[in-house]
Amino acid sequence: MANPASALGEAIGKSVEKEVQSIIREVVSPFGLYVDTGGPRKGKRKGQKLLLVNETGNEYQIDIVVEDAAKKPLILVESKYIRYKKHNRDKASWTCVAHFKLRTTYPSVKKSIAILMGNWSAPSKKLMEAFGIELVEIPFKKMVAVLKQYNIDFDWPENNSEIPRQSWKKYRSLSVREKRKIAEECLSGHKEEIKSKMLEAVEADPEKPKNVDQIELLIRTTHNEYYVKKFGTVQETIKHLISLIEDAKDLKNLLK
């Protein structure tokens, strides 16, 4: 038998993710957009995993991808459940890297969203937001309160095995409708937030002028050092690039 604690958390996380998928389909379907959630897809893949490949050939498994009419990714969505904060950094860092690499590969992506369930630390959330990922948070306390209504204890000491075993047994005994109701209640108060984020991307006016917000210049030296410079205008960037030709043989003083 699978670890009851892990099995219960995964089951609830997947149930909530299915509800998120339904919410997204409800919003984007009228616009003729496709919601890819993995699984066999004719002309796309035979396997289950929804994988997107970046420009260097690395594959990233994404939970939900909204595609435009040309089958290009428009919105990236992650649904992540974490019980213990000690796992925050790994999952947050992976999400940041994956979404950043994919957004630099697919300019069609208008928005990155992470549905966070459980215990997420402030530093982890700030890290994801720094990478332009918009967050929808379902706190652990809320999940505990929802499950308590079904006489399921979802809050136990880390070294306790009996409580999660009993909780997993009770959860499995629930009907399909009851399990879906739990997911809906966990998402209560967040449905409109998710819809709003979807619509912001879907209804973005393609004819609206696009202006430069920020330019990042990445320089790698022959010593394998990396320097990142950020500019607010094209003019500032060009001025900096011109300054680099003053001493093309040695950049050490110009890159300080």
User: Are 97 and 173 in a shared domain?
Assistant: yes
User: Are 67 and 187 in a shared domain?
Assistant: yes
Q: Which residue has the higher pLDDT, 247 or 163?
A: 163
Give the SS3 label for residue 194: helix
User: Are 143 and 51 in a shared domain?
Assistant: yes
* Reported pTM: 0.85
**H/E element, 186:** helix 176-186
User: Are 30 and 117 in a shared domain?
Assistant: yes
Per-residue model confidence as pLDDT tens digits over 78-119? 999 998 877 788 889 999 999 999 999 999 999 999 999 999
Per-residue model confidence as pLDDT tens digits over 156-194? 988 889 999 999 999 999 999 999 999 999 999 999 999
User: Are 88 and 188 in a shared domain?
Assistant: yes
Per-residue model confidence as pLDDT tens digits over 213-243? 888 888 887 878 888 888 988 898 888 888 7
pLDDT of residue 242: 80
pLDDT of residue 250: 66
User: Are 158 and 238 in a shared domain?
Assistant: no
Residue 184 forms part of a structural domain: yes
Q: Where are the alpha helices (DSSP H) in the chain?
A: 4-28, 88-105, 122-130, 140-148, 162-173, 176-186, 191-202, 234-244
Cβ contact 148:171 at 8 Å: no
The torsion region of residue 141 among left (phi > 0), alpha (psi -120 to 50) and beta comes to alpha
d(CA 122, CA 131): 15
Q: How many domains does the chain fold into?
A: 2
pLDDT of residue 246: 61
Segments forming the whole domain that contains residue 239: 215-247
Tokens 């994801």 belong to residue: 128
User: Are 27 and 73 in a shared domain?
Assistant: yes
pLDDT of residue 204: 77
Per-residue model confidence as pLDDT tens digits over 12-55? 999 999 999 999 999 999 999 999 999 988 888 888 899 999 98
Q: In this structure, what are the phi and psi dihedrals at residue 134, rounded to the nearest 5 degrees?
A: -85, 135
d(CA 5, CA 160): 9
User: Are 122 and 224 in a shared domain?
Assistant: no
User: Are 85 and 147 in a shared domain?
Assistant: yes
d(CA 170, CA 167): 5
CATH number at residue 44: 3.40.1350.10
User: Are 239 and 135 in a shared domain?
Assistant: no
User: Are 198 and 230 in a shared domain?
Assistant: no
pLDDT of residue 253: 63
Residue 255 forms part of a structural domain: no
Q: Which residue has the higher pLDDT, 141 or 249?
A: 141
Residue 207 forms part of a structural domain: no
Q: In this structure, what are the phi and psi dihedrals at residue 228, rounded to the nearest 5 degrees?
A: -115, 125
User: Are 196 and 233 in a shared domain?
Assistant: no
